[in-house]
A and B are shown apart, each in its own frame.
Chain A
Amino acid sequence: MQFIYLVVIILFCLGLYTILMNTNLIKIIIGINIMDSSLVLLLVALSYKPAGTAPIIDKQYSVIVDPIPQALALTAIVIGASITALMLLLTIKLNRYYNTLDISEIRRLRG
């Protein structure tokens, strides 16, 4: 059980490292996505119970999982997907105007 938190921490740090160490726009977007996914994994891991079922109030279902983190995970996935879509769109536009994907060359705004 503790193993999953280690995976979450590794994924989170890997995402942050990818964002900080790369100058390629696509790789930065991938880094943000990895960070986002690690949090979704954390949310799912928090609500996990061995042999847990859906939260239906009935005698048959005695071990139920907490539904709230799963609802949060769905929302987080939706928000992450929309941000990714917008970022990719902007990357296309930036590539058209600057003819590069290197973020250190995209700097006409200074000061």
Chain B
Amino acid sequence: MIAAIFLIVVPLLAGFSFLFIDKYLAKFRKLFILGTGLITLLLSIELLIQVIKHPLVYNLGNWKEGIGISLIIDPLGGILAVLIAFISFIIILYSLSYIKNHQLKYYTLLFLLITGMLGMVLTGDLFNLYVFFEITSIISYVLVAFNKNDTSFEASFKYMIIGSISGILILLAIILIYQSTGTLNLAQLVITARVIPIQLKKVITVLILIGFGAKFAVVPLHTWLPDAHSTAPSPISALLSGVVIKVFLYALLRVLFILFKVDELLALDFNNLFLYSGVITLFTGHLLAYRQDKLKRLLAYSSIAQIGYILIGIGLFNERGLEGAIYHVINHAVVKGVLFMTAGIFILKTKKKNIGDLKGVGYQLPLSSFIFTVSALNIVGLPPFNSFISKWLLLHAALKAGFIIPASSILLGSLISLSYYLRIIILLYSKVKEELTSIKISYQLQLAPLLLSLFYLPLALFPNFLLLLIKKAPLFLLKTINYYNILLGGKEWIGLFG
């Protein structure tokens, strides 16, 4: 139970005490950074083990339930907390050898970003969610501008205009919810949301769809993402693409399922909204990625496309679809993390940002290129890899529910992505006229992508173990009465079909 609050406190405290460590105990700087990342990871794993057995509530300040702010952690929150802590740990490992200047600012902001994300998945209070939402957003704006050149400032400003308007819309939605129900606790809202008139409910839904949708780049609102993710420093791109957008997606799902029951959502045709916006997002992402000539921009557009896959899984509003979507969230976070980190190594070592200039880099940077190739084939969804499993689950769920167009677009989208990733792989290993010698590269820089890519193996070989964890998530997301029962300390959960 203690792990829940320490998961937020540890990175927050580390972020600000890093100012002190950097000034007076500079020797222990690396140890401190790595230690904080490791402690956060261990705490999140401990929390997940507890939560899988029994979801828990932690009341801040020991107030009674519903008066103060409480943290409510269900299996989905636990899984996402582990994912955030794990990817962040790898990113910290990578940053130690990648970021050479302004380390003080960088690590302070990075720890605060981790705090914001963990807070968003652990909190059980609507307004607290908004506060962590804004913390995550503001830190993201600053980190996008971290390179301090004209394009990064431009990307950051673009992100900030769209982001702050979306924040205002979320705040308006929260005010409307509070005004009509008189509560901000997410679990209590499960019961009290019934009193909201249907017209007002629709207004609130539109506000949160636009507000959170702009943050996870659903297609008409995606324009900031390729700029922001491609101009940020590579470790930050990996974190933004890998986990930050997924956390905003989680927030949308949590609030949406609390406001509406699943039958109400189906009656209002929300499944078609999600499914077809997923299809549009998928094709826009893939087709725009196809015509990019900068490597990181291509990866950013590919992230938009992967959000499309996840939206299709969610839009089915059943157990299978959600399982596939959550599995794809995990796979994409891991694979896109590796892709951005290796792309960062290419850019750092060869100073080439365009795809056309990557000719022959496969001979200069053999290990990084190999990792990149494996990851690219992975994210396309070729059979032996883990992304294949999650895409298969999504496809299976979509076909089972009878949605032919989304199911076929999953296949067609993967085909498009194969074509543009194959172009890069061919360029990497094509011969050039002049003699190429391998560039010297420190093992530390390659350690993080290598470590993360080793996780493809357990993800691909033992999907059943992970699916066992994931199978517990829809119970609390779709049947929100179970989420309410966590608050009451209940032990019995109502089944999905009960």
User: Which of B134, B153, B156, B158 makes the CB contact (< 8 A) with A79?
Assistant: B134
B179 cross-chain contacts in A, Cβ below 8 A: 46
The answer to whether A39 and B168 touch across the interface, beta carbons within 8 angstroms, is yes
The interface centre, meaning the residue of A46, A106, A109 with most chain B CB atoms within 10 A of its CB, is A109
Cβ of A34 to closest chain B Cβ, rounded Å: 10
Which of B55-63, B138-146, B458-466, B471-479 sits within the interface? B138-146
Cβ of A32 to closest chain B Cβ, rounded Å: 5
B158 cross-chain contacts in A, Cβ below 8 A: 109
B32 is an interface residue with CB less than 8 A from chain A? no
Closest B residue by C-beta to A93? B153
A43 is an interface residue with CB less than 8 A from chain B? yes
User: Which of A28, A93, A108 makes the CB contact (< 8 A) with B161?
Assistant: A28
A75 is an interface residue with CB less than 8 A from chain B? yes
The answer to whether A90 and B156 touch across the interface, beta carbons within 8 angstroms, is yes
Give Cα A86–Cα B138 distance, bound, in whole angstroms: 8
B154 is an interface residue with CB less than 8 A from chain A? yes
Cβ of B189 to closest chain A Cβ, rounded Å: 14
A7 is an interface residue with CB less than 8 A from chain B? no
User: Which of A69, A83, A97 makes the CB contact (< 8 A) with B150?
Assistant: A97
By secondary structure, the B interface counts as helix
Cβ of A73 to closest chain B Cβ, rounded Å: 10
The answer to whether A87 and B157 touch across the interface, beta carbons within 8 angstroms, is yes
Give Cα A69–Cα B176 distance, bound, in whole angstroms: 11
Give Cα A28–Cα B164 distance, bound, in whole angstroms: 11
B142 cross-chain contacts in A, Cβ below 8 A: 86
Within B175-201, which residues are at the interface with A (CB < 8 Å)?
175, 178-179, 184
The answer to whether A75 and B131 touch across the interface, beta carbons within 8 angstroms, is yes
The answer to whether A108 and B175 touch across the interface, beta carbons within 8 angstroms, is no
The answer to whether B165 and A39 touch across the interface, beta carbons within 8 angstroms, is no
By secondary structure, the A interface counts as helix
**What is the count of residue pairs linking A and B with beta-carbon distances less than 8 angstroms?**
85
* Given A19-B161, A42-B175, A111-B292, A90-B145 contact (CB < 8 Å): yes
User: Which of B157, B165, B168 makes the CB contact (< 8 A) with A94?
Assistant: B157
B98 is an interface residue with CB less than 8 A from chain A? no
User: Which of B149, B161, B172, B226 makes the CB contact (< 8 A) with A32?
Assistant: B161
Cβ of A88 to closest chain B Cβ, rounded Å: 11
A6 is an interface residue with CB less than 8 A from chain B? no
The answer to whether A111 and B297 touch across the interface, beta carbons within 8 angstroms, is yes
A69 cross-chain contacts in B, Cβ below 8 A: 175, 178
A86 cross-chain contacts in B, Cβ below 8 A: 138, 141-142, 160
Cβ of A80 to closest chain B Cβ, rounded Å: 8
Closest A residue by C-beta to B169? A35
A98 is an interface residue with CB less than 8 A from chain B? yes
The answer to whether B154 and A109 touch across the interface, beta carbons within 8 angstroms, is yes
A63 cross-chain contacts in B, Cβ below 8 A: none
Given contacts A43-B175, A87-B160, 17 further A-B contacts (CB under 8 A): A28-B161, A42-B175, A46-B179, A83-B134, A83-B160, A83-B167, A86-B138, A93-B145, A94-B150, A97-B149, A106-B154, A106-B157, A108-B150, A108-B151, A109-B155, A109-B227, A111-B226
Q: Which 3 A-B pairs have the closest CB atoms?
A: A97-B150, A109-B227, A79-B134
